[in-house]
Chain A
Amino acid sequence: MNRYPLWKNLLIGLVLLWGLIYTLPNFYGEVPAVQVSSGKATLKLDPGTVMKRVEESLGKAGLQHDGLFADLTSVRARFRDTDTQLKAKDAIEKAFNPDPTDPSYVVALNLLSASPQWLTSIHALPMYLGLDLRGGVHFLLQVDMKGAVTKRLDATAGDLRTLLRDKNVRHAGISREGQNVVVKFREAEAQSRARAVIMAANNDLQITEGQDGADFKLTAALSPLAQKSIQESALKQNITTLHNRINELGVAEPVIQQQGLDRIVVQLPGVQDVAKAKDILGRTATLEIRMVDDTPGALEAAVGGAIPAGTEVYNDRDGRPILVKKQVVLTGERLTDAQPGFDGQNHEPAVHLTLDSAGARIFKDVTRENINKRMAILLIEKGKGEVVTAPVIRSEIGGGRVQISGKMSSEEATDTALLLRAGSLAAPMEIIEERTIGPSLGAENISKGFHSTLWGFVAIAVFMCAYYMLFGLVSVLALASNLLLLVALLSLLQATLTLPGIAAIALTLGMAIDANVLINERIREELRNGATPQAAIHAGYDRAFDTILDSNVTTLIAGIALLVFGSGPVRGFAVVHCLGILTSMFSAILVSRGLVNLVYGKKRKLDKLAIGQVWKPGL
């Protein structure tokens, strides 16, 4: 009766084997590597050619790599030691970024798992270490959503002004007041006409009528739906912008994620220069609109070295020089949005820009005065400018809605829109949390966490074996398999392991032994009450099961609450704690029973169990 059917033994064996395989990568440690990824939003990385180029440049420098790996966004080369790694980085940097002031690729030092290829190919990777274990910087940025909405409302006020003038509705002033746009009128008739016109033109607005002394007014507020979409796109744009800026730092595995509705987490492993990181994150608009100097002969002279006064030479994206005036017409701060789309008339791909009201006014004046001249949109990246596009002004453009079209593919339109957006932040951001952990502290934390788990485990193991003899040994093996499965699960899920996470591993092990103590105590009790050894094993496991289930569920409830409401270190703790409770159920019940069955299950005549001394009252 104490025998598991074959399938159950097989299942346990397979699960343990699985655990072993996925735990394995953690033992190999890490080797130095160099990672190449794209440094510009417009540059798409082609892994095949990049790999070939990396190989070539290493060959030229006489360096040997330990394996090349590629995924969609990066190519990585492993090296035997850090010395080769550093040399290789220089060689690759030279080959990929011939102009160090304008790098197209990010070449960064990284660490890769040293586990063999077959493990990597089945996605058996080492656990993902949190910043407190590997060192680096963590920022939490708060996006000012009110700012994004205000920006949009400013633009809306300008739109309404143009709209009412176009439709010949007389108003007595349009202004933004807080989160509303207020339009005043002298007569009630104008008010109702304006209402109809606005409703027909713009469905993002909710309009209420009112009276202000003798004046009539309309108060327009953004509908909740419109507000939501503004906030969503603001967040997305800020994340894109941050990505572009962080590329500059040459971080191997930056994490840039949305957290909640209005926050962005930025984690830069290995980065120690916090001041530079902050500087780059907090950089302001880098988009500029300037006029092109198309005076005949001026460009040729400028390329020749005689730059006319008040102008500068910039290259466009194809490398052609363009002479641009130094005076800045508009900066990226005035640009509220840039979206790819199509021209309304000829259906050619186009980029639609939206300017805020101040920007719209300037733009209108400039375009009126410069019809048939070219204007350049410059993206100033890393202190170096590049002309994104230089269209010809066909007519006066009012209202703040600008379309750039002509001779571009829809892909180019998408890229241009992205570049234009990337230059600016959709809404201001503020750092509300910062954590920097030096690399030495990270290494110390790992060893502290490891040692506390190790010695705690050893203490429990010694005690269990001494107190419960063979059953103690079985319990310890079950506990070890629990640890194995937990580490395997964490590696598989690539959940971030932090110091509180290691503490949770230790604590979970300390709590998981409870199940085995319950079982062993039950078996002793059955023996004390005169049951035969086989019956005692059976009854012991059987009766203990209910209790183990109940107690684990209550612990799990606490774990889940922490998971739901915890943030940062608490969440790291909670994830491990919850997973650990699940694996402990498996190992404490199935694995330990399987072992006991293997030892005792086949013995017909069994007089004694090696479970330590069973004291019976009255003897």
Chain B
Amino acid sequence: MEFFRIRKDIPFMKHALVFNVISLITFLLAVFFLATKGLHFSVEFTGGTLMEVSYAEPPALEKIREAMAKEGYQDAQVQNFGSARDVLIRLPNREGMETGKVSDKVLASLSTLDGPKAELRRVEFVGPQVGKELASDGAMALLLVIGGIVLYLAMRFEWRFAVSAIIANLHDVIIILGFFALFQWEFSLPVLAATLAVLGYSVNESVVVFDRVRETFRKKRGLTTPQVLDHAITSTISRTIITHGSTQMMVLSMLLFGGETLYYFSLALTIGICFGIYSSVLVASPLVMWLGVSREQFMQVKKDKEEAVV
């Protein structure tokens, strides 16, 4: 089998502007949704109590809501989770409430309801002080990733590559967040982990292309910079699609079999992988071109290498 039968290098760079405009529009849309709708943060970030209870038969949600209100939790959210028999209850933190005891109280009041008995599946309680830290830790992690990757790429390649790779891939992160804002999917810690993992993963996509760019610059003389980029992208595209396809198969499997906990995690990965291909190939490469990459920047390195071989 051979999916990709490409006779000539595809002139990607001719349409560089178009790709970047598309990408810019998506990016702006993502920023727009982030600004207007905001992220729907999970309990881990906002603080509060989340309880998952399971019943033998579908319970009446209305009754549970009433019971919550009777306990003084008028702002409780009660909804089905996964199936009609599983119920998710969310309670925000409030000042002056003995936060650690909320789950016990709720469970006690649930057991007074008639009908089927509730089985406690999961409780998550997060105090108000934890959420803020998580957000700042997340931001620090993001900064460390950006700094580390820029430094490494600048050392291994050239600062132009480092800058364009990080710009291209950061905009993936924003787009993932944009999707989560638009659809109001729950943004939890695993989703944050997925987002950062995607950042590392799509940078490696750019690295593969850049590796080829460097190699082509050294090996093939007489090509213009856009031609070199076209050649590099064309000769790696088969690998790009197959690799991402394979990774996506794994992610799809998680999406299908992983249950609720892994659902948004794998959703974030799916978006990240799709936009990762696009941006790391079609956005990062034009950026490198516009930043003025040229053969001369690699000649020094070549000389060293020749000496080493001899």
Contact = CB atoms under 8 A, between A and B. Distances in A.
Contact of B196 (A466, A467, A511, A561): A561
A355 interface: no
Nearest to B156: A550
A524 B5 CA distance: 12
Contact of B100 (A278, A514, A561): A278
A91 interface: no
Contacts of B246: 460, 463-464, 510, 513-514, 517
A413 interface: no
Contacts of B156: 550
Contacts of A435: 122-125
A459 interface: yes
Contacts of A574: 193
Interface string A428-441: 00111111111011
A553 B152 contact: yes
Contacts of B120: 272, 436, 438
- Residue among B5, B52, B120, B254 facing the most chain A CB atoms (10 A cut-off): B254
B197 A448 contact: no
B148 to A, nearest CB: 4
A518 B243 CA distance: 8
Given A511-B247, A553-B152, A566-B141, A440 B121 contact: yes
Interface of A is mostly: helix
Interface stretch (B72-80, B200-208, B223-231, B296-304): B200-208
Contacts of B205: 551
Nearest to A513: B246
Q: How large is the interface on B (under 10, 10 to 19, 20 to 34, 35 or more residues)?
A: 35 or more
B141 A506 contact: no
B103 A452 contact: no
Contact of B265 (A140, A142, A503): A503
Nearest to B53: A438
Given A463-B246, A550-B156, A551-B204, A430 B122 contact: no
B185 to A, nearest CB: 17
A74 interface: no
A559 B203 CA distance: 13
A547 B1 CA distance: 24
Interface string B229-262: 0000001101100110111111111101111011
A577 B197 contact: yes
Interface stretch (A7-15, A96-104, A416-424, A610-618): A610-618
Interface string B129-150: 1100010011011101100110
B126 A617 contact: no
A616 B37 CA distance: 52
A517 B101 contact: no
A558 B197 contact: yes
Contacts of A506: 250-251, 253-254
Given A436-B120, A564-B144, A615-B5, A551 B208 contact: yes
B153 interface: yes
A569 B141 contact: no
Contact of A448 (B2, B201, B257): B257
A283 B5 CA distance: 73
Nearest to B123: A436
A142 B193 CA distance: 25
A585 interface: no
A436 to B, nearest CB: 4
Nearest to A137: B123
A552 interface: yes
Contacts of B204: 514, 550-552, 554-555
B211 interface: yes
Contact of A554 (B5, B153, B192, B251): B153
Contact of B141 (A449, A525, A564): A564
A274 interface: yes
Contacts of A553: 152
Contacts of A467: 1, 242
B86 to A, nearest CB: 10
Contact of B258 (A431, A440, A452): A452
Contacts of A448: 257-259, 261-262
A456 B254 contact: yes
B100 to A, nearest CB: 4
Contacts of A444: 259
Contacts of B248: 510
Contacts of B208: 518, 547, 551
Contacts of B119: 438, 440
A555 B201 contact: yes
A438 B107 CA distance: 14
B261 A452 contact: no
B92 interface: no
Contacts of B266: 503
A617 B2 CA distance: 12
Nearest to A617: B7
- Residue among A142, A459, A565 facing the most chain B CB atoms (10 A cut-off): A565
Contact of B2 (A457, A559, A560, A613): A613
B259 A562 contact: no
A448 to B, nearest CB: 4
A438 B122 contact: yes
Contacts of A142: 127, 129
A471 interface: no
A565 B124 contact: no
B295 to A, nearest CB: 19
Contact of B1 (A550, A573, A613): A613
A573 B7 contact: no
Given A436-B103, A554-B149, A514 B243 contact: yes
A513 B250 CA distance: 11
B193 A432 contact: no
B168 to A, nearest CB: 13
A433 to B, nearest CB: 5
A546 B243 contact: no
Nearest to A499: B261
A509 B122 CA distance: 29
B199 interface: yes
A318 B98 CA distance: 42
A39 interface: no
Contacts of B145: 557-558, 561
Contacts of A150: none
29 contacts: A278-B100, A431-B125, A431-B127, A434-B125, A440-B119, A440-B121, A448-B257, A449-B258, A453-B250, A455-B253, A506-B251, A507-B250, A510-B247, A513-B246, A518-B208, A547-B211, A550-B204, A552-B204, A554-B207, A557-B148, A557-B152, A557-B200, A558-B149, A561-B148, A562-B193, A564-B144, A570-B193, A574-B193, A612-B1
Given A551-B204, A556-B200, 8 more contacts: A436-B120, A500-B190, A507-B247, A507-B254, A509-B250, A551-B205, A555-B200, A573-B190
Counting from the closest, the 5 A-B pairs by CB-CB distance are A558-B200, A510-B250, A432-B127, A551-B204, A456-B253
